[in-house]
Structure 1
Amino acid sequence: MTKGNNIKESQPNNPLHGKTLEAILVYLVSYYGWEELSELIHINSFRSNPSIKSSLKFLRRTPWAREKVEKLYIDTLK
């Protein structure tokens, strides 16, 4: 193991540590539902025929949207 990996693995206070984008999205959809989620974060893939697959594709290509989803996830856990 390199030194860089040790830093990455030791983030016990980071709520995103060890979470995949898919796991975060599934949690948010189960917590809020697609309709409320689309009101909280204005993304077309949450509004028009929403699915985990299409939303993940968009979020992986769109950093600002991914940041909003990650922030909502953190705020939801509080």
Structure 2
Amino acid sequence: METHYFVSMEEQKNNPLHGKTLEYIITQLSEHYGWAELGYLLRFNCFVKDPSVKSSLKFLRKEQWARTQVEQLYIDTFSK
């Protein structure tokens, strides 16, 4: 039996990631911190070795644990 979870519009308004693509999040973080600082903060090769939005998207789409850390950094940085 499948269980479906629905998120209300009210809950989405309070979600700082609502409407933000992963590409947007990476771009905002890289512009704010720079690739070197991102690599220092999160220690992901996609931010250290030949950093780019494209390589970051490829890695973060495969590794949910890493994506979660990037999303949390975005929230901590821009939701104040």
Same fold (TM over 0.5): yes
- AA aligned to 1:56 is L
Which consecutive unaligned segments of at least 5 residues does structure 1 have?
none
**Does 1:73 find its partner at 2:79?**
no
Partner amino acid for 1:64? W
- TM (norm. structure 1) is 0.88
TM-score between both structures, scaled by the size of structure 2: 0.85
2:62 alignment counterpart: 61
- Compute the RMSD of aligned alpha carbons: 1.2
Q: Which runs of 5 or more structure 2 residues have no equivalent in the other structure? A: 1-5
Matched, 1:27 2:28: yes
| Shift of residue 27, structure 1, vs aligned partner | 0.2
The CA deviation string for residues 50-71 of structure 1, in whole angstroms up to 9 with x for no partner, is 0100110000000110000000
| Structure 1: 4+ residue segments shifted above 6 A | none
Partners of 1:55 and 1:44 lie apart in 2 by 9
The percent of aligned pairs where both chains have the same amino acid is: 58
